[in-house]
Structures are given as structure tokens and as C-alpha cells.
Structure 1
Amino acid sequence: MPFATTPSRQSLTEHLVRTRIAGDVATPRENNRSHYRKLSEGDRYFWFGLELGDRWTDEEDVLAVMAERCGVVADPAHRSGQDTIDPELTVDALDRAATRLCKAADGGQRVLLATGHPGGLLDVHRRTAAALRAAGCEIVRIPGGLSADEGGVFQFCDVAMLERGATLWHTHSPAPMAAILDALEERGEPLPDLVVADHGWAGCAGERGIDAIGYADCNDPALFIGEAEGTVSVTIPLDDHVVDPRYYDPMTAYLLDAAGLNPQP
């Protein structure tokens, strides 16, 4: 739903619930609990490039973090049906992310943007990159010819993504980000000061000691755990693939306005 101006916090919160970016989201409780269990069992697919060791072997500990930082139902007995994301936590995280974006703009920092969810979040990252570039940041240009997970790692509209068979690929893997960071180091180029991403792209960057802002769904607990442990700078809870990507436009406008950046078309 379009806004003529940048939404207020209250208007954005209502929009998030209305479009199911937050509130009663589409991701079912069964899926959430399955992912929390697999993370706690050590399945690295769900670690998003973070090294969690043996610190999160209890599924209920993972659930507690997700209830606190994402707003899923806290009751361990709730195992099926509807689950939730707290829109207030979403906006709180956007405010924290805005503070870090403002710092990047003030310092003219090197920023890398990437997405494993191009069908939903590509334009969020594209607009953020455009606003940061306009504010004087250097948007990291990734080396050409990179590959990972049987696909090509490339950059489109200043956003790094994985491509397979001429298709933008949905991926949780940290391998594409690792390929970028390794290539930059091999070429003697400085690493980013900040990464704005999602999925394993954000987790890998955080694990490498880079400030990372990550968007994450309620079935993707790793980045929330990363923030709880201080490895990920900010994790923004949201449904990362709603029916219309334009639903994210007011959220992006709010983020950029809160960062003191001029929202870019």
C-alpha cells in the first residue's frame, strides 16, 4: 500500500501487520519449530555461516531468543498453527539499523549489499545502496568471475546475488559471501566496513568480524542468535517474501529517513 510520504512509526507498524510482513505471518509454527530444532541439532545449513559451537543445543533456548528478538509465540507447547513476528520489534530493529547506516554515511564507509532472497528483498537492498552512494559511501564492487554453490556470484544494481542458469537464486548459503570476501583479500582490497544483507550472506560477514545488518524471517533463527551473541550487529525480523515486494517500500523509506538519508526511487 503506497504512502505519499515517509510513514510514521505507527503507520509503518500498521502497514507491516496489514501486509503480513509482521504480525500474523504466513510462515507456520511447524516450520519455525523444525528449523529451531535443526539448528540446535547442529545442522550447519541453518547456521548461516555462523560458528555456534555447542552453545545452542537446546531447542527451547533457541525458541526463547526468537520470542525475545523476533516476537514468535513464547509458549513451548505451541507447536502448530499460527506464529507471529512482533511489528514493534521490527521497527526497533530498523531504528538500530538506521543508526549504523548513518554512521556509514557520515564516515564515507565501504558498504557491501547482498541478498539470498532476490524475489523479496532485492529492491530493499537496491534502494539502500543508492541512498548510501548518494550520501558519499563507497559501494563495494565485487570481483568478477566468482562462483559458489554451482552458481555465479555477481552484482546487479549494486547488490550481490547468486545466479544459476540465468535465474536469480534463493540461497541460505554463506559460500557466496565467503567467495567475495576471499577474492577481495586475495586482490589486496580492503574488506567492507559494513555489510547489509540477509541469510548466509549476513552470517558469513558477521563471522568474519565485519559489521553486519541482516534481515531475517521467523524460521531463520541463526541471525537472531548472532545478534544475541554480538556477532551480527542488527537483525531485522520480517517475513522475507510476502506476496508483493512493493509492500516493503514504506519500510525502506522509513529506514532511510531514520538514517538521515534521502530515500532513493
Structure 2
Amino acid sequence: MPIPGTPSRAALVQHLIRTRIAGDVATPRDNNLAHYRGLANGERYFWLGLDLGDRWQDEQDVLAVMAERCGVNDDPEYRFGQDTIDPELTVDALDRMAARLRKAAESRQRVLLATGHPGGLLDVHRATAAALRGAGCEVMVIPEGLHTSEGMVFQFADVTVLERGATLWHTHSPDPMAAVLDGLEREGRPLPDLVVADHGWAGCAGQRGLDAVGYADCNDPALFLGEAEGTVQVTVPLDDHVLSPRHYDPMTAYLLGSAGLTGDDGDDPAPRD
């Protein structure tokens, strides 16, 4: 059944578990560990635009951070089967993100929103953009004509995305965000005060010294390490592509409610299942 209005913390936790946004998630343990190993081995694909240097060369150190900040199983001998995201950690991180959104709204800051996971998180970012604009923030418009080796960079429903072959594209690359920030500097325009994003979009922004908050799955450890090091301000642990994008609506409603924001045109960003 849908959750009416803005859910309580307890109701949201149960919803996250039921829809597998958190709790027993779909990402298998062996996939998680392979990504942790790749990051520790210096494979830049897994760094999501962050410069992790030689600080995370031990896969077990990466696992320890992921257990602490995401809630995966902390047993290094557990190598196959189901892995987990702690829904309490998800809501804790949403509360931290809400505090940063509230600050942006109170100061009417410039905000840039972007996603490398449009199939799952596009509407989460769109609703956040609408709420921030309604509170007086400037939702930044990116320069035209930007592109990377993967495709074109443009905005759709106020959210910056990668487009390829007339399709919104899933990407982990930091290059699209780098193209946006470089384009703003070329035009002599100010950079955003806050970036709300995921994947390499968030990592690149944080690495360049911008305030960055974002979402990350349990097989994408870099943003959690970035938060541990202070490069990324907030990383919300969740499965970033569940069965229906509508399952994220209660989470979005909780986030915006906790931030003291409302949805598009003053409407309640209430959930639909």
C-alpha cells in the first residue's frame, strides 16, 4: 500500500526494506567485493572522480568503511550470497542531506543537480530541484553544447544527465561533471554552492572542492570513502535502481519534509507505490 503524505522515520524504514531500497538488496556479495577490490587496486572506474591516492589499497579497509557507513556484512569470509544496506543508516544520511538542503534554501544558494542513474534516481533529483527552486534557490542552467567521449551533457527536468543516441545514459564517469564545471568557468559564471548528485557527478564535484551530497549503492564504495575523508559531505546508501522508480517517492518526501521544503508548485511530494 502507498504511504500517505510524508512518512515517519519508522514507516520509511519499513518501506525501504519492503521495496529493497535497503535491507536485503539485489546486489550480490561477490559483486560488492569485486568492486571494493577494483577500487583498492587503483582502477579509476571505481573511484568515481575522487583522487583516493594510495590510501585505500587494502580491500579490507574498504570493506570496513562500507560496513560502517552502508551496512554491508563486515565478515571478510562472507563472499557469496545476499548483501545488505542498513535502512537506519539510509535514513540517518537522509537527515544529514536534509540539513544541507535546508542550509541551501535558507541562504538561497546556487544548486546543481545531476544523475548518472536516470533510470532510478531522475525523479528524486527532479523533485529536489523543484523544492529548492520553490524555496528561492537558483537551480543552475548548464552551458550548451557540452559533450564527453560517452555522449552529450544536457539538462532534463532541471537535472543534468548524459545523453547518447536520444537516450538518457547510465554513467559512472566524472567526465560529464568536469565538462559542466569547465564550461561554467569558460563562460565566467560562478560555480554551484551545492551539488546534489550520484556516481562520478558527485565525486568530481567533491574532488574540485565543491559542497557535494549524493546517493550511492553498496557496490559503489568511492563516495562513502569520500565522505569518510571529508571530500563528499553526505553519501546516502541505497539500491540505486530498484524495480520501480516510484518506490523512491516516500524517501524523497521524507527528505524534503525533513529539509522543510515542499514539492513542485507547492504540491506535497507524496509517494506512490
Determine if the TM-score, normalized by the shorter chain, exceeds 0.5.
yes
Which residue of the partner structure matches residue 139 of structure 1? Answer: 139
CA drift of 1:51 comes to: 0.2
Which residue of the partner structure matches residue 3 of structure 1? Answer: 3
Which residue of the partner structure matches residue 258 of structure 1? Answer: 258
Q: Counterparts of 2:96 and 2:148 in 1: how far apart (Å)?
A: 31
Q: Counterparts of 2:148 and 2:90 in 1: how far apart (Å)?
A: 31
1:121-132 correspondence to structure 2 within 5 Å: 121-132=121-132
CA drift of 1:263 comes to: 3.0
Which residue of the partner structure matches residue 153 of structure 1? Answer: 153
Q: Does 1:227 align with 2:227?
A: yes
CA drift of 1:149 comes to: 2.4
What secondary structure does 1:27 align onto? Answer: strand
> Amino acid of the residue matched to residue 15 of structure 1?
H
CA drift of 1:262 comes to: 1.1
1:2-151 correspondence to structure 2 within 5 Å: 2-151=2-151
CA drift of 1:33 comes to: 0.1
Q: Counterparts of 2:2 and 2:159 in 1: how far apart (Å)?
A: 24
Which residue of the partner structure matches residue 247 of structure 1? Answer: 247
What secondary structure does 2:27 align onto? Answer: coil
1:188-207 correspondence to structure 2 within 5 Å: 188-207=188-207
| Conserved? CA contact 1:28–1:81, under 8 Å | yes
How many residue pairs match? The answer is 265
CA drift of 1:5 comes to: 1.3
What secondary structure does 1:26 align onto? Answer: strand
What secondary structure does 1:83 align onto? Answer: strand
CA drift of 1:150 comes to: 3.1
What secondary structure does 2:99 align onto? Answer: helix
CA drift of 1:134 comes to: 0.2
Q: Counterparts of 1:137 and 1:121 in 2: how far apart (Å)?
A: 21
What is the TM-score when the length of structure 2 is the normalising length? 0.96
| Conserved? CA contact 1:257–1:263, under 8 Å | no
For residues 204-247 of structure 1, give each alpha carbon's deviation from its aligned partner in whole angstroms, at most 9, with x where no partner exists: 00000000011000000000000000000000000000000000
What is the TM-score when the length of structure 1 is the normalising length? 0.99
Q: Does 1:173 align with 2:173?
A: yes
Q: Counterparts of 1:238 and 1:150 in 2: how far apart (Å)?
A: 26
Q: Counterparts of 2:262 and 2:205 in 1: how far apart (Å)?
A: 26
Q: Runs of 5+ in structure 1 lacking a partner?
A: none
> Amino acid of the residue matched to residue 24 of structure 2?
D
